[in-house]
Structure 1
Amino acid sequence: MTALRLTLPLLAALLTVGATAVPPASSTPPEQGTTAWRDGALQGDTAGLVSRSDLVQEGPAWRSYQAMPLGNGVLGASVWAEKGYSAQLNRVDTFPDLKSAGRLVVPGLGSLMRADDYSGRLALYDGQVVQSGGGLTARSYVRADADQFVLEVTGADPSQVQTADLKLWAGRTPAVSANGGVAALAETFHDEASGSITGAVAALTAQAQGVTASVVDPLTVRLTFRPRADGSFRLVVGVPSYRGGELRTAARRAVVESPSHHLDWWHAFWDKAAPMRITSADGSGEYVENLRTLQLYTMAASMRGDVPSTHGAVVRMFSSSGDQADWAQDSYWHFNLRMLVSANLGAGIGELNSPYFKFYLDRAELMREWTRTHWKGGEGLCLPEFMRYDGTGDGCDNMQEPSWTRRILTSGPELVNNIWQQHRYTGDTALLNRSYPLMRDVARFYLSAMTTGADGYLHLEHVNALEVQWDTSDPVPDLAAMRVIFPLVADLATSRGDTALAKQLRDAVGKLPPFRTVQRGGEEVLAWSGTDEESHNTQNPEMEALWPWGVFDETSELMQATYRQRVYPQDKDWGMDSTWAARLGLSDEVKRLLLKGIADFQIYPNGFTVHRTGQEAVRNRSFYNEWGGVLTTGLQEALVQSYDGIVHVAPAWPRDWDVAGSVQIEGGHRISTEVHDGVPTVVGIQAGSRDTLKLRNPWPGQQVRVVDSHGRVVVGGTPADLVTLQTAPGTSYTLERVAVPLSSLTFAPLAGQPASAVKTVGNRVLGITRSEPPLLSDLVSVQSPEKLTNLVKAQVGAPIYVDRSYTVTELPGALNGQALVQGSNDDSKATTPPDYLTLNLTRPATVYVAFDPRGENVWWPSWLSSFTRTGETVGTTDQRLVLFKRDVPAGQLSLGPNSGVSGKGNSTYVTFVVPR
């Protein structure tokens, strides 16, 4: 049994002064109950608890949007079952476009994927995808300790020749190499704007028999081999950074293996991360728990390099869609990173914030120069909301017209506050010392940007209220930010002898204007800013005063009303509405918003999300992960809060979700509790520093006390609303009801079993359900385009497009069960190339094409005249399509694009092939 405890240094002796022994339990029969809190920690089986959230594959992930993510913080992979077995490999640092290092394809694993007894899972505790079927097993992982992707297979036929391809796609220009048993692709990327050169090698080798490497074409290299005598083989793809040089040497080095500590790393990570087990009658609690665990996994798998992995909320290193991605992959929006930082802190994995801090601190001097040249009259440092990896940005600029991000100033104060919180949560003094010049200069910039008005207040003018209002004054986020960072920077300045700056900042706090209020929905609420400029985006600037800045709390009627009347309730995946609800003590709202967010955004079965509502997984190929940070932060704040200097336990926890879990707070303390029907059993405190903790009594009006890990009462029985505890680092404490002491509760360690089925909430799914595999045809194959190469069995319910969710509703009998070549609706207006679709036919066949009737005499292409109209139609959930046919001989057949008129076209045609 593994104790679920945070590893903390024993920095001082146990606190013993004033301690008294716990008296015997009352003779009154105690309230019945159980607890996992013992020996100063929540006790339980870490592996079992984490594996509750495994993503189960009841059937293979045939589609790329179903891919399972793997990573080590720098190298990422997405694994799915297309063409037998596919894994796309992506590094976090191939700027400016973060292009993929290549795709590994192993056709010989098709029999595993198609086996009747197939099973698979993303095993989170081990950081692996594990699959089995037909006597074969496959284990995939990105090594936690090396930039190498590994595929281990057992149960293969030793006499059967296998191939493994590394391939890229049209538009790429890699160098290729095949030497002995190592095949490699490599490409470098030169950024003209910054002059930087980045790139990656993808080098493939195998531990097998008779391994030979070859170059298939300019975009593909191949290994050919036979499994070892015991039926096993092992593929290793090394994917290091590459900036040019002799490829064969780089490839050989890339696949050299050191002793692996992969499992050790992942197990240590999970032993440290704060656990949270949620149970509910309807399964929604378990689903939310699964998403939180996935968020922690995603952070561990993606945030360990020199730069953050998230660009505009897209986590590119887990892409399975070639080089396609939303937003600018060479740049970062600070607004899409902040929820990841807060989630990591509360989960006790603050070290994974390192890429975030490193990215901005490494570019501090560049940001100072940017401020000097782009903000007239500005001093110090303004952090652009939108900043490129080279330190240039679109923000902190008052010399051009206002725009989305150009005059957002609050990214800098948020960085300052996050540095301070990181220090408070983790004790990282080195980070604070390194960061002080930046923190000082962000505060100095604000002092330089304000002017004194006729009312005597200091005002910010011609700035943004986030992306909502442009060219406004005194935005709520800025006023709240200055109220928080000015005092803390002043204290740091004083400790460093900069008394003049400290005085300036303290004086400025007293001159900040009050928050403006307006009437909305019949209630007085906070305004967005000092003016009523029109809105450009759907953020709620006024709610920023609650989170991240915490200048109001649940007792504020103004804040409660502002929340009720906010203009844009959680319509994007960035919305921190559930955290705002938690801080206002609205437990029902917390649950409603989390489940609404799942319904609105979580369209992918791997747990990733999209940016806004109404999207389809088959159509949107970018995996977003900021919603995971939103959900995790909201859950953690609902269970434990401390932002106002008082520890609140279960202040907004949904009553019908039972939970056993821990949350990290300031001071490095870990607060653990178990909540049943909305009521905590006990509260455990693992102290991370010498501190004075103030805890709100979780059982109002009841006598409570605090007992240390040696059984001594350190705070005697009291019904007070507030309990004060002096903590010593490395010591654990229990806050308990006198009438229901810990000793009266039955010890029941937290247990968990690996997930055995996909999870569902409404129409959302975590895991892969069994589905119809791509059709294997001995009659036809698609040569190009590659995106249409997966054939489908023609039948009612079959998908007709690779990029839409429309399906067949009715088919002529001659087509049922035959080969269907799906269309791509993104190409509906395509008029080129003339050989848009190329088929290879092994024998004579009848080829049918089904066209959108809206194109007749409008945009139908001329090549369609070589087909005969059948008088039949194909029913779909999109359009009823008109059917044409043509008898063709064996060999190659090319069909043209969907449209014959530039700029016109509706739904794309689909193709059926029937033997003659």
Structure 2
Amino acid sequence: MLLLFLSILPCFAHAQTELATNNIIWTSPSRNAGESMPCGGGDVGLNVWTENGDVLLYLARSGTFDENNSLLKLGRVRLHLTPNPFDHGTFKQELALQTGDVTLTGKVGQTSARVRVWVEVFKPVVHVEVTGSEKLSAEATYESWRFADRRPKGKENNQNSYKWAPQGDVVTRRDSIGFRSQGVEFFHQNRPQTVFDVVVQQQGLASVKDRLYNPLNQLIFGGALHGLKMTPAGTTTGQYLNTHYHGWKLKSRTPARTHSIVVALHTTTAPAVPQWQQGLQQTLDAARQNPKAARQRTVAWWHDYWQCSFIHIRPEKAAANAPEWQTGRNYQLMRYMLGCNAFGQWPTKFNGGLFTYDPVLTDSTLKFTPDFRNWGGGTHTAQNQRLVYWPMLKNGDFDLLKPQFDFYLRLLKNAELRSQTYWQHPGACFTEQLENFGLPNPAEYNWKRPTSFDKGLEYNAWLEYEWDTVLEFCLMMLDAEQYVGQDATPYLPFIESCLTFFDEHYQYLARQRGAKALDGAGHLVLYPGSGAETYKMAYNSTATITGLRTVLTRLLALPTPYGTVGQRQKWTAMLGRIPSISFRESQGHPTIAPAKSWERINNTESPQLYPVFPWGAYGVGKAGLDTARNTYLYDADVQKFRSHIGWKQHNIFAARLGLTDEAAELTVKKLQDSGRRFPAFWGPGYDWAPDHNWGGSGMLGLQEMLLQTDGRKIYLLPAWPKNWDVHFKLHAPYQTTVEGVVRNGKLESLKVLPESRRADVVVM
């Protein structure tokens, strides 16, 4: 390893040019919604495609949860032009990453038109702008499959919180839709009784119900479709794939060369519809005031977003059939989709984000509505969600972390009430398969549980005693402070409460078994525990121990304004009660054990490598690297479970261990073209398509191949193949950015800001 001192390139301005080579261009229409293109901004996501001469959009927005906790689409918009430039002529559809929009152009004979679709970043407004070579008539139809109550049956309930165990008559209630003020208004108003009430009763929390946070109560969401100089033109019916729909049409009053269509969206908590309508009208009025200024603000935001961070592989030799170039391009596409929920109240869901489409196009047996996604809408699986959010640190996308952080802050009180009600001790208990109101998913909690079984536990072979993933979000909060100087004060009560749960609960469990709360060395006995969903009924799970140690150590390392003397004494004492991890021999080599002992293996994760990622106890430049590498190379379970599919993270482990060939192979497989028309619509993997934890883990592996940190040290190219040219810009702790160009196996240029951090850079 050598410290590298390089001259700073006079200009790193090629990034925008390189980004343009990542744009997606299609020259033929799509066959169906499965061949759609993502488009979005703020917290709104669209699927955009052209089919049978019509331009179609699926509308989605963060936080549109119905009574059953399905994350509902907001409908579909169909645009038809007459004469029709998209009917069997020349065609082009382009996603322009630089500006965040999708443009469709078509020409039939002498008639041509351009349709630009874009979403405002700072307001929930969708714009559809038509420009024709001659005067065209435009017809915009709002289409909905929720024109009547629907009763999901069988697997269709996997889209809501009931999953495979519906209680009574589960109904997806109809929306309210009609013409209003020369447009189409549509909204869903949650009824007073929701799945929240069912779960509270199921889990024995009725006595504290009035103190529990309930995001489904009085929730109203929807929007309005309006067109400049357009007027209502009646209704229609039809069927798209397996789903019947009703449509409400707007038609241009006269043919024109330009048409402007907007969809304004609004979500609020209100006791009655007029309050929601008032907020919607304000959004509509703002959308009409100065669309050019809104466009400029949106384009400027996307420009800054792409300037913040990038990884362009083989930027001077763009070749769609080159696996490593695909890896870099699809990294950018995944980051684009994450940017479409930059300012949502709710996190980007791992199982499709804002870009799901008709499920029959993912699984031919699932002939359900476009509202379907597997593993629930309001249900959050922490092991999967973390992989969506970890890449945002090195990307410098600190604003994008806020929805996930706020999600947990809102649920803190509910998680603490669980501990107080069930076990009469403090601390926040967060389970896996967590509802957006902080309680376990009712199907995973299990309706068929023994009456004597601990009400605080999920009666579930995969999930029992798994509550340590929240520690990763604690670390993300601390990392945000370290990376960008973000104030950690709002997060300290949350982090402390999560730690307190483990300290209190495992002493509580020990006292149920015997007279002593700690073992003979004065340490917690973390039993029963869990090594992810895999090593069950674990004693001193390695992932849990390393997580507790890491978060406590990082708390104590915070600058002195954080934490009182009493708090720091408490953290120090707690750290002293955390036991050491265990080791074992694998094929004659010392390796990290998943736990001191366990009773069974239930899944195919590798938590014995969680000390490598996410906890960073082992890695390049750190003690014990050989033992961690042995675990990756020789542990029989790790070998058996290794894969690139879905949430598998072996590419990240390999990168952090400096295993270049293994990291490159698995990361390329992660980020190679999805096999669908849009290259970054991976999945379904173990979850759903597009699989965002598949893409997120791919991003993480690529980042770690390029840049790793240990304290103030910055390791460059710790697992980077010598034959991969790259131009990259990534973020590091202490408000640092690192931009570099590698050509022909050499780091040709390096820019480190602030300049004082250059001395901390080590090139591998």
Give the unaligned 5+ runs of structure 2: 1-5, 151-172, 197-213, 238-244, 360-369, 446-453, 507-516
Deviation at 1:105, TM superposition (A): 1.0
SS at match of 2:122: coil
| Cα distance change of structure 1 residues 107 and 320 upon mapping to structure 2, 3 Å threshold | farther
> Match of 1:516, as an amino acid?
S
CA shift, 1:357, in A, is 0.8
Tell me the equivalent position of 1:221.
Answer: 248
State the SS of the aligned residue for 1:381. coil
- Please list the CA deviations of residues 50-80 of structure 1 after superposition, one character each: whole Å capped at 9, or x if unmatched: 2111111121222211111112232221111
CA deviations 1:241-268 (Å, max 9, x no partner) are: 2555248766655533232132222222
Q: Equivalent of 2:60, from 76, 80, 90?
A: 90
1:245 paired to 2:312:
no
Q: Is residue 2:38 matched to residue 1:38?
A: no
Output aligned runs, 1:57-206, within 5 Å. 57-83=26-52, 84-95=54-65, 96-108=69-81, 111-134=84-107, 135-155=112-132, 157-158=134-135, 161-169=137-145, 171=150, 173-179=174-180, 181-190=182-191, 191-193=194-196, 194=214, 196-206=217-227
**Alignment CA distance shift 1:380-1:315 (3 Å):** same
- The alpha-carbon deviation at position 383 of structure 1 amounts to 2.6
Which structure's CA Rg is the greater one?
1
Q: Which residue of 2 aligns with 1:797?
A: none
Moved more, 137-146 or 486-495: 486-495
CA drift of 1:665 comes to 0.4
- 2:306 is matched by which residue type in structure 1? W
- Residue in 2 that maps onto 1:298: 337
Distance, in Å, in 1 between the alignment partners of 2:283 and 2:559 is 47
Deviation of residue 290 (structure 1)?
0.9
Give the TM-score normalised by structure 1: 0.66
Query: Does the CA contact (< 8 Å) of 1:467 and 1:537 recur in 2?
Result: yes
Q: Is the 8 A contact 2:143 2:246 kept in 1?
A: yes
Matched, 1:656 2:714: no
Equivalent of residue 340 in structure 1, options 364, 379, 388: 388
Match of 2:284 in 1: 255
Aligned pairs for 1:631-646 (under 5 A) are 631-646=698-713
How far apart, in 2, do the equivalents of 1:448 and 1:529 lie?
20
CA contact (8 A) 2:419 2:456 kept: no
Give SS of 1:363's match: helix
Distance 1:447 1:641, change over 3 A: same
Q: 1:111 to 1:692 in 2, by over 3 A?
A: closer
1:315 aligns with 353
Partner of 2:241 in structure 1?
none
- Residues 757-804 of structure 1: CA distance to partner in whole angstroms, max 9, x if unpaired? xxxxxxxxxxxxxxxxxxxxxxxxxxxxxxxxxxxxxxxxxxxxxxxx
Counterparts of 1:444 and 1:647 in 2: how far apart (Å)? Answer: 33
Aligned to 2:305, which of 269, 281, 290?
269
Identity %: 19
Separation in structure 1 between the aligned mates of residue 222 and residue 97 of structure 2, nearest angstrom? 27
Q: Which of the residues 409, 419, 429 maps onto 1:382?
A: 429
Give the SS at the match of 2:38: strand
> What's the counterpart of residue 563 of structure 1?
632
Matched letter for residue 44 of structure 2? L
> Which whole-Å CA distance do the structure 1 matches of 2:339 and 2:673 have between them?
25
In structure 2, what is the equivalent of residue 462 of structure 1?
528
Confirm or deny: 8 A CA contact 1:547 1:580 kept in the other structure.
yes
Amino acid at match of 2:646: D
- TM superposition shift of 1:562: 0.5
Letter in 1 for 2:630: A
The corresponding residue for 2:327 is 288
Which of 477, 489, 497 is the matching residue for 1:441?
A: 497
Q: What does the per-residue CA deviation read over 1:547-601, in whole Å, with 9 as the maximum and x for residues that have no partner?
A: 1101112462111011113141125311222221111111111210012224696
The 1:169–1:553 alpha-carbon spacing in structure 2 relative to 1, beyond 3 Å, is: same
Cα deviation, residue 611, structure 1:
4.1
* Aligned-partner residue type, residue 93 of structure 2: G
Contact 2:330 2:673 in 1 (8 A): no
Range with greater deviation from structure 2 (244-253 or 177-186): 244-253
Distance change (3 Å), C-alpha of 1:419 and 1:253:
closer
Please state whether the residue corresponding to 2:734 is helix, strand or coil.
helix
Amino acid in structure 1 at the alignment position of 2:138:
Q
Question: Aligned match of 2:413 in 351, 365, 375?
Answer: 365
TM superposition shift of 1:173: 1.9
Aligned residue for 2:126, secondary structure, equals strand
Give the aligned partner of residue 665 of structure 1: 732
Distance 1:364 1:511, change over 3 A: closer
Cα RMSD after superposing both structures:
2.9
How far, CA to CA, are the matches of 1:600 and 1:263 in structure 2? 27
How far residue 517 of structure 1 moved from its aligned partner, in angstroms, is 2.2
1:478 aligns with 544
Q: How far is the alpha carbon of 1:506 from its aligned partner?
A: 2.9
User: What's the counterpart of residue 583 of structure 1?
Assistant: 656
Residues 55 and 121 of structure 1 are in contact (CA less than 8 Å); yes or no, is this contact kept in structure 2? Answer: yes
What residue in structure 1 maps to residue 647 of structure 2?
A: 574
AA paired with 2:102?
V
User: How many matched pairs?
Assistant: 648
C-alpha distance after superposition, 1:182-223 (max 9, x if no partner): 122222223342461323233111124x63353446942110
Deviations 1:787-830 (A, max 9, x none): xxxxxxxxxxxxxxxxxxxxxxxxxxxxxxxxxxxxxxxxxxxx
CA deviations 1:723-760 (Å, max 9, x no partner) are xxxxxxxxxxxxxxxxxxxxxxxxxxxxxxxxxxxxxx
Alpha-carbon offset, residue 682 of structure 1: 3.4
Bigger share in helix:
2
Contact preservation (8 Å) 2:311, 2:726: no
TM-superposed deviation, 1:320:
5.5
| Cα distance between partner residues in 1 of 2:754 and 2:177 | 55
Structure 1 pair 241–273 and aligned structure 2 pair: CA distance change class (3 A) = same
- Partners of 2:503 and 2:759 in 1: how far apart? 34
Alpha-carbon distance, 1:180 to partner: 5.0
Q: 2:476 aligns with which of 403, 418, 428?
A: 418
The alpha-carbon distance between structure 1 residues 357 and 602, as it changes in their structure 2 partners (threshold 3 A), is farther
> Cα distance 1:110–1:48, how it changes in 2: closer, same or farther (>3 A)?
farther
TM-score normalised over the length of structure 2: 0.79
The 8 Å contact of residues 114 and 130 in structure 2, kept in 1 or not, is answered as: yes
Counterpart residue number, 1:853: none
Q: Which moved more, 1:548-557 or 1:118-127?
A: 548-557
Separation in structure 2 between the aligned mates of residue 346 and residue 530 of structure 1, nearest angstrom: 33
Q: Structure 1 682/74 Cα, relative in aligned 2: closer, same or farther at 3 Å?
A: closer
1:97–1:329 CA contact under 8 A, matched in 2 = yes
Contact 2:343 2:400 in 1 (8 A): yes
Contact 1:590 1:652 in 2 (8 A): yes
Paired amino acid for 1:293:
Q
Seen in structure 2, the aligned counterparts of structure 1 residues 666 and 345 have a Cα distance that, compared at 3 Å, is same
1:397 Cα offset (Å) = 6.8
**Secondary structure in structure 2 of the residue aligned to 1:680:** strand
Structure 2 residue matching 1:642: 3-state secondary structure: strand
Cα distance between partner residues in 2 of 1:502 and 1:53: 48
**Contact 2:583–2:591 at 8 Å: present in 1 too?**
yes
Cα distance, 1:541 vs structure 2: 0.6
Q: CA deviation at 1:131?
A: 1.3
Residue 536 of structure 1 corresponds to 602
- 8 Å CA contact retained: 2:644, 2:667: no
Give the Cα–Cα distance (whole angstroms) in 2 for the partners of residues 621 and 382 of structure 1. 27
2:486 corresponds to 1:428: yes
Q: Secondary structure at the match of 2:713?
A: coil
The structural deviation recorded for 1:152 is 1.0
Letter in 2 for 1:294: L
